[in-house]
Amino acid sequence: MTKWVYSFGDGKAEGEAGMRNLLGGKGANLAEMSNLGLPVPPGFSITTEVCTWFYAHGETYPDTLKAEVDAALAKVGTQAGGTLGDATRPLLVSVRSGARVSMPGMMDTVLNLGLNAATTEGLAKLTGDARFAYDSYRRFIQMYSDVVLGVDHALFEEILDSEKEDKGYDLDTELSAEDLKRIAGLFKERVQKELGKPFPEDVHEQLWGAIGAVFGSWRSPRANTYRKLHNIPEEWGTAVTVQAMVFGNRGETSATGVAFTRDPSTGEKILYGEFLINAQGEDVVAGIRTPQSISKIVRERQGAKKPSMEEAMPKAFAELKAICDRLEAHYRDMQDLEFTVQEGKLFMLQTRSGKRTAEAALKAAVDMEREGLIDKKTAVGRVDPAALDQLLHPTLDPNAPKEQIAAGLAASPGAATGEVAFTAEEAEKRAADNVDVILVRTETSPEDIHGMHAARGILTARGGMTSHAAVVARGMGRPCVSGAGMIKIDVAKGEMSAGRHVIRRGDIITIDGATGSVFKGRVALRQPELTGDFGVLMGWADSIRTLKVRTNADTPEDAATARKFGAEGIGLCRTEHMFFDEHRIIAVRQMILADAESERRAALAKLLPMQRGDFEKIFKVMEGLPVTIRLLDPPLHEFLPQDEDEILEVAKAAGTDPGKLRMRAIALHEANPMLGHRGVRLGITYPEIYEMQARAILEAALNVEAAGGKPVQLEIMIPLVGFKAELDRMRERIDAVAEAVKRERGRVPGFLIGTMIELPRAALQARQIAQTAEFFSFGTNDLTQTTIGISRDDAGGFLTDYLNKGVIQRDPFVTIDVDGVGELVRIAAERGRQTRPNLKLGICGEHGGDPDSIRFCHGAGLDYVSCSPFRVPVARLAAAQANLAKAADSD
């Protein structure tokens, strides 16, 4: 019979850390901490399999679940010394979510469950603290009503603020027991008014309502968005953890907090985190009160005046530090922990691998290897390749003029500048119009995640380093400044004030997530330097990977940037980008407008020295590394003007009749240019174009070598080949040019001729095409379009629906469609190498910088991936992890 419930507590547990797929990360780690003998309040986990059942059976539960929950609840009561619903010794529990991977703030939690009119009175008598009892009760009503009953929490905040205002209070802690009792009554009246039925008094009804709400939150809009952003499958489901409550709101000897065993922003080995005295856990992460630092050194660095936990609660701090050290050594990874101190006694409520910035991940991985906690392979596998993008974000130019208007906490590193948006919807809409946006909020909530993702940076008036805004921004790699208390935000007016400054919607500000500073207007940014821990980890990755990493670069500047990031060659140099230069476009248009081949050749003769010069500059930068040059690919009409004013201007500059130019543009127009007269088809019709480009390439290589440069590893690539005969004809032309150059110069550089595989027919005919081609480069952007029959430019209108409705799991233009496009890649690789065993294979589409696609390329036997310059570090690390994964799979 299936077991649905697993208990933990009292120094033992039915589960352990390896059962996270079944118990969720929270439940598995609570079980593990119990087995380690740490102070964990007793509880139980309802498995992820129940979540799967819940959705598969119309949001109902297995028949045997209730009996298992009742038995586990009785066990918790025995260990905690109470009973759910008992007015004499009431047991209170928390009900929390727990997916197998951390999804901070995305799903629901209920605290203090088990309180009603009778048990609250009983709790007051049992503890001798009526204020604590009614404070817990009003919190429970508000949280349960919001999470389970769907009553907006802001309605309760209005009541609370009104009561404090009537009393002349600023803080919740100033409210008396009688005040809180009255507020709890007002809360229940509001529930009755909103729902037409009373707040539930039956504690078991409360429990099952909370369990259902947690399972229900797995498919909430915010959880769906988070899963989509982080590629978490919906079928994984969530577990539910029910745990005896311990209370951080029992007075000045009680507290609650969140701790990291290392600084999650920098990776420094220092106990880092925040706590609040006389508070409950949600107060810390919700950003309702700005918390205090755990460590004295962090408080001093931040210039905070309130004492740290190390100073205010030295005994509990020392115990916490010892447990943190033990857990990090046990898990061999940085930990993110939640804890409560109840009347001086420390309890551990959670541990998990801590979310961290890329900088922190790098430093922690390298430091832990040096400390002997992990080996080099583990260190390389520990850093998310996609997160390396965070290190490539710009920082503020220290010499740039700037006007600081506010300061907060340095919640997530990096700098960003953009227009102010005050709502998530506004940020998302402006970003869709290609406007850089800074999302400014009093505090963020999980519902804001789509706007946070769209924004360049995030600024909040409230909240600490572990608030929702800070945690989510770090995970996304967005710069964030939180807790900037001096800014006042009026969303209705569309403005914020910071001292004498008023910033309105659409005004530009700049934030620095590394210092917590906020500046008026646009501040110049500077690109980062990649050294230190980055270089060490990349060195380890390079020693592990077998897949080469090249770059897509069309200019010497791009090539130099890519080399700085470790590129081992150019996998795609697009020659057409060179034609759009304002000094060349006239000659290009003269070539297109020519009526005879002789006229075209005359125009191409003007372009020859320009192309040759372009290639010389790139070859010098690459210093003998392989360079793959794709001959002209786009249709010719792209080079012609479209509107009337531009036609007149171009005709005048080219010395031609506007009518002729207009008619030529009409003649070249195509209904579907992506599948039209482009690529090799241009070479067949106008071979003189490819001949000019081949000559420019070969002469440039000779010139660089003659000037003392390293011999160039040339690879000339013919695009859009579908028939072997197309490539044969182009090879004959290029070989003829090479012979001519040899006669003129006495020698010709070595070169390979190959093709882009971007048509299904080319993949299927790879055996024949490889008789002529010496290399294949998979152009997966176009191969995806031609295989699936989707235009990349038009797919946005429906691909989102496909993703939301589960038709597809990943955007095929971001991550390669393994079963379709990937199958064609495998077929082409296999058939091509049957003909030519040493056939060089690479990929040069956008997928070349996507970690999951790189893993596929490694498995398919490709020799290299090629990606944009700033994705080169990502590809290097992903290639190493692909090799490690393949080795692990074969063990």
Active centre residues (catalytic): 468, 844
Cβ neighbour number for residue 493 with a 10 Å cutoff: 12
Q: In what order do the strands lie in the sheet with 5-9?
A: 12-13, 5-9, 43-46, 238-244, 93-99, 109-113
Task: Please check whether residue 364 is in contact with residue 356, taking contact to mean a CB–CB distance below 8 angstroms.
Answer: yes
Question: Residue type at 195?
Answer: L
Q: Where are the alpha helices (DSSP H) in 522-623?
A: 533-544, 556-564, 576-579, 585-593, 597-622
Residues in the chain: 891
Give the DSSP letter string of 822-877. Answer: HHHHHHHHHHHHHH-TT-EEEE-SGGGG-HHHHHHHHHTT-SEEEE-GGGHHHHHH
Q: List Cα–Cα distances, 831 to 337, 723, 755, 766, in angstroms.
A: 53, 15, 15, 6
What residue has token string 């020859």?
608
Distance between CA 149 and CA 205 in Å, rounded? 12
Q: How many CB atoms lie within 10 A of CB 123?
A: 25
Q: Do 707 and 746 meet the contact criterion of CB atoms below 8 Å apart?
A: no
Please check whether residue 29 is in contact with residue 101, taking contact to mean a CB–CB distance below 8 angstroms. Answer: no
Paired residues of 517 in beta bridges: 407, 512
Which of 358, 821, 387 has its CA nearest to residue 811? 821
Please report, as a single letter, which amino acid is at residue 611.
Q
Q: Which two tokens stand for residue 662?
A: 């207009």
Q: H/E element holding 721? A: none
Residue 485: is it exposed, middle or buried by C-beta count within 10 angstroms (0-12/13-18/19+)? middle
Q: Which amino acid is at 587?
A: A
Q: How many CA atoms lie within 13 A of 487 on its CB side?
A: 33
Query: Within 10 A of 587 (CB to CB), how many other CB atoms are there?
Result: 20
Q: DSSP character for 528?
A: P
First to last CA, the chain: 33
Looking at 746-820, list the stretches that DSSP marks H as alpha helix, in order from N- to C-terminal side: 760-764, 766-769, 780-788, 796-804
